[in-house]
C-alpha cells in the first residue's frame, strides 16, 4: 500500500464582548477590536447587514454606524448598509441568500474584509452562511440583538439556512471573528421574544449546571418581568456555558452524534416547521424540554421532585409546556417524523439528550413511542 498522509490542526479564537450602546462615539469596544486586527498597507472594507426589526426600533442606527465608522483608520465602510427581513422567514428565502452573495460580489468584499451582521439569530445564521461560502470564507462579525442570540446561537460557530422545509439543512461551521452583545438592543424586544429566549439558559443549566438552575429558581420573579440586571446575568452565564462546551467538549464542529446542547430540540425543530414557524424557536424548545423531562421521569431516569421543579420554573417564566401538534396517534404522526429528521441531521445513530437529574444529562439512542405518548398526555392534562 502506498499513500501520502496529511495531518494539521487549525486554532480558532474569538471573543464575546459585553457592552451597551456599541456605536456611541465614546464607546471604544468595536473600534478597539478593529484596530487590533488592522494590517499595514491593507485597507479593509466593512459591509453591514441589518435585521429590519432592529432598524424599526432604532431608527437612527444607520446614521450612528456611518458616523462611528468615519473615525476608523484602515477601514472603509460600504455606504450601502443592507437591511433584510428578520425572523425565520429570512432563512427560508433562497433568493435572499443569493442576493446577499451578489452584494458581496458587487461591493468587492474580499477575505481581508468583514461582513457585520446585526440582528436576531435567524439573520445572524443567514449572514454567517453567506460570508462562509463567499470566497470560501469571509470574516464575519456578529452583533446579536435578542436574548436567544446573545445567550446561545450568536455566540456559537454554526451558520445556516433552511432548505426543503428542513431546519438548517444548508450550513457551515464557521466561527465569527468576534461577537458584540449590546444590552441596549434588548430594551426594545417584544415580550414574547425576550421571554422565549430565556429557555436556552434553562436548557444548558439542566444538562450542565445545577447551581445556575437554582439561581434561576431564586430569581424567577425578576426574570419573568425582564428585570435588566437578572436578565444580563442569565445571558452572560448561558453564553459562558455554551462557549465552554463548544471549546472544551472535543467536538466543536459536531462530527460525532453527541449533542447535549440539543436537549429538547428534536421535537422543537419539528414543531416550528409544523406551525409554519408561528411558534418562536424558544417556545418550541420550552415545549420540547417539558416533554423530554416528563419522558425522563417516566423511564425512571429523573426523580419526581426534579421534574416538578423543572415544570414550575417554566411556568414561572411563563413559557409554554404543550402544543396540540404534539399529539401522537401512531408511529406516522407528524411529530414522530422529527426523530428521523433529527437523526439524519446528526448523522450516525439517533442520540437524544435526556435528564438523570438537574444539572446532569444522559444520552439515549431510542425513544419508546408509547411512553412518549404518556408524556404528551401528562403535559396536556396535568399542568
Does the structure show a pLDDT above 60 at 320? yes
Q: What percent of the chain has pLDDT over 90?
A: 82
Tell me what pLDDT residue 336 has.
Answer: 82
Q: How many CB atoms lie under 10 A from the CB of residue 201?
A: 30
Model confidence band, residue 167 (pLDDT cutoffs 50, 70, 90): confident
Tell me what pLDDT residue 256 has.
Answer: 60
Q: What percent of the chain has pLDDT over 70?
A: 97
Mean pLDDT of 96-106: 97
Tell me what pLDDT residue 257 has.
Answer: 55
Tell me what pLDDT residue 171 has.
Answer: 96
Does the structure show a pLDDT above 90 at 247? no
Tell me what pLDDT residue 204 has.
Answer: 96
Model confidence band, residue 346 (pLDDT cutoffs 50, 70, 90): low
| 8-12, 210-214, 358-362: segment of lowest average pLDDT | 8-12
Amino acid at each position: 500500500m502506498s499513500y501520502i498522509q496529511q495531518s494539521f490542526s487549525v486554532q480558532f479564537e474569538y471573543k464575546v464582548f459585553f457592552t451597551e450602546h456599541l456605536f456611541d462615539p465614546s464607546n471604544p469596544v468595536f473600534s478597539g477590536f478593529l484596530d487590533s486586527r488592522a494590517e499595514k498597507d491593507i485597507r479593509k472594507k466593512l459591509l453591514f447587514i441589518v435585521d429590519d426589526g432592529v432598524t424599526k426600533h432604532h431608527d437612527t442606527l444607520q446614521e450612528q454606524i456611518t458616523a462611528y465608522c468615519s473615525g476608523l483608520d484602515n477601514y472603509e465602510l460600504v455606504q450601502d448598509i443592507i437591511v433584510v427581513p428578520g425572523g425565520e422567514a429570512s432563512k427560508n428565502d433562497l433568493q435572499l441568500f443569493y442576493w446577499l452573495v451578489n452584494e458581496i460580489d458587487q461591493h468587492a468584499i474580499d477575505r481581508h474584509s468583514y461582513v457585520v451582521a446585526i440582528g436576531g439569530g435567524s439573520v445572524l445564521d443567514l449572514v454567517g452562511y453567506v460570508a462562509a461560502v463567499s470566497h470560501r470564507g469571509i470574516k464575519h462579525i456578529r452583533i446579536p440583538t435578542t436574548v436567544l442570540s446573545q445567550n446561545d446561537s450568536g455566540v456559537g460557530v454554526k451558520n445556516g439556512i433552511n432548505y426543503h422545509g428542513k431546519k438548517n439543512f444548508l450550513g457551515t461551521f464557521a466561527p465569527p471573528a468576534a461577537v458584540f452583545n449590546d444590552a441596549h438592543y434588548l430594551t426594545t424586544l417584544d415580550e414574547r421574544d425576550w421571554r422565549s429566549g430565556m429557555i436556552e439558559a434553562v436548557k444548558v443549566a439542566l444538562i450542565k449546571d445545577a447551581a445556575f438552575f437554582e439561581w434561576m429558581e431564586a430569581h424567577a420573579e425578576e426574570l419573568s418581568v425582564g428585570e435588566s440586571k437578572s436578565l444580563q446575568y442569565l445571558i452572560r452565564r448561558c453564553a459562558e456555558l455554551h462557549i465552554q462546551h463548544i471549546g472544551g467538549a472535543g467536538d466543536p464542529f459536531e462530527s460525532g452524534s453527541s449533542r447535549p446542547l440539543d436537549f429538547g430540540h428534536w421535537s422543537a425543530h419539528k414543531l416550528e416547521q409544523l406551525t409554519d414557524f408561528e411558534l418562536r424557536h424558544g417556545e418550541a424548545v420550552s415545549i420540547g424540554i417539558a416533554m423530554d423531562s416528563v419522558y425522563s421521569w417516566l423511564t425512571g431516569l429523573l426523580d419526581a421532585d426534579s421534574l416538578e421543579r423543572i415544570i414550575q420554573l417554566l411556568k414561572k417564566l411563563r413559557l409554554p409546556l404543550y402544543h396540540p401538534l404534539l399529539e401522537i396517534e401512531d408511529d406516522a404522526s407528524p411529530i414522530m417524523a422529527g426523530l428521523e429528521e433529527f437523526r439524519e441531521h446528526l448523522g450516525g445513530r439517533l442520540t437524544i439528550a435526556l435528564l438523570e437529574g438537574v444539572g446532569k444529562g444522559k444520552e439515549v439512542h431510542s425513544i419508546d413511542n408509547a411512553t412518549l405518548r404518556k408524556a404528551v398526555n401528562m403535559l396536556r392534562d396535568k399542568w
